[in-house]
Amino acid sequence: MKQFIFHLAFYFITVSVLAQDTIPRPSIYDEGYFFVGSDDVLKFKGYAQFDAYFPIGKSPGISEFLIRRARFVATGFFQKKFRYMLYARFDKGKPELYEAFLEARHIPFAKIRAGQFKVPFSLSNLQSSSQSDFIGRPFFIENFSPSQDIGIMMFGEDGKHYMEYAVGLFNGRVLNKKENNNGKQIIGRLVIAPFKTSKNIVLSNFYLGSSISNGLQNNDYGFLSYNTNNDVPVISFKDSVNQSGRIIAYNYDLEWYIKNFSAKAEYLHHKAANLKRNTSNYNLISKGYYISASYLLTGENKKRNEVIKPKKEFDPKKGYWGAFEVAARYEKTNISNSIVNSLAKGTDELTAITLGTNWYLNDDVRAILNYTFYQFKQPIVVNNLFFSKSNILLLRIQYQF
């Protein structure tokens, strides 16, 4: 039996290696790295992120070491045209299903995916945290953008890669939550690359995107909080706050890559109708935007949805130190002041500036250092103390396989 298992494993590994030239090209809706073999070969992937947070001066929050993410994925193909994925997370104190789906790829411009997965909304939301320029997503994306959900989606792109799209029908609930009403969330996204075939390097990697989400939902907002990347509550709802009505969100975003330089920008508008507490009834309206830029100091080209591979991987004996990148981001979020004055406590406006460096030791190991300054229009209250601003240093070490 042991010999049979050994020979079976050896066969799978051999076929996987020989089949690398036939790998189907992944799309933007495939998070992280994409490993496949031929026919029914199973592949694995995973990554982990060790974080450290250090508030500076009179800032909310505590210094902390934590495992921010620990993920493990099994994925593969049936007969090259049916793709499957089982994606688990281990960073919440217990194993939890993150994604599970089956996908039919028979028609390149009309692929079908069904199960639980990341919905097609927002540039920042769709980009894996393992490939992000910064340790955390912007505040308004992290708290107001739709993310994982259960449903069915059709997606694809044209043959020359000028356009990619996705449209799906989802429950409208958060991760691993059972549906609680008959309403469904319709979510769609369109990205165009108007100069994709241009020989001008300034224009050829310029992308414009837009997403929309619309549906009826019932949600319990009681004691819900919207937090910064180091889990400081900026807005905290009171008890017995319920939402029953339509939630509409839309966004516009931009990506631009020129050799070792990249720029991104995004705007999001979110409206949740009919929030109630006792006899009060309000609409939650939030909107935000960010602009960011990054520059690889060591000259590597930055490409859309691809991992940075250093020209000289880290090897001190040879005097090689990997690749280095600097990045900066400005963001602003506004939230209905009627909500803050009635159903919640906190601030109705937040601005943040993040400065960062990325050190790519190789294409599997990366160290990130970020400094973020938050400014709150109204002071927030944390542990009975008032804060009108926050300074925090964030460190991340991540590996993937």
**DSSP string across 252-280:** EEEEEEETTEEEEEEEEEEEEEEEEETTE
Q: How far apart are alpha carbons 136 and 121 in whole angstroms?
A: 17
CA distances from 13 to 8, 28, 40, 42, 104 (A): 9, 27, 12, 9, 24
Q: Each residue of 215-229: pLDDT tens digit?
A: 999 999 999 999 999
Residues 291-296 have a mean pLDDT of 98
Indicate the pLDDT class of residue 29, thresholds 50, 70 and 90: low
d(CA 184, CA 167): 13
What's the pTM value of the predicted model, to 2 decimals? 0.88
CB neighbour burial string for 45-72, b if at least 16 within 10 angstroms, e if fewer: bbbbbbbebbbeeebbbeeeeeebbbbb
pLDDT of 43 reads 83
Q: Where are the alpha helices (DSSP H) in 21-161?
A: 123-126, 139-144
**Domains in the chain, CATH or no CATH each:** 39-69+102-400 (2.40.160.10)
What burial letters (b/e) apply to 361-394, b meaning 16+ CB within 10 Å? bbbeebebebebebebbbebebeeeebeebebbb
Which residue's structure tokens are 């990205």?
A: 191
Would you say 306 and 256 are in contact if contact means Cβ atoms under 8 Å apart?
no
**Angstrom distances, CA of residue 74 to CA of 49, 63, 71, 84, 326:** 19, 34, 10, 8, 33
Least confident interval from 21-35, 241-255, 371-385: 21-35
Locate tokens 């009108």: which residue? 388
Identify the H or E element spanning 9: helix 2-18
CA distance 136 to 30: 20
Q: pLDDT of 331-361, one tens digit each?
A: 999 999 989 989 999 999 999 999 999 999 9
Does the pLDDT of residue 248 top 90, yes or no? yes
The Cα–Cα gap between 217 and 274 comes to 10
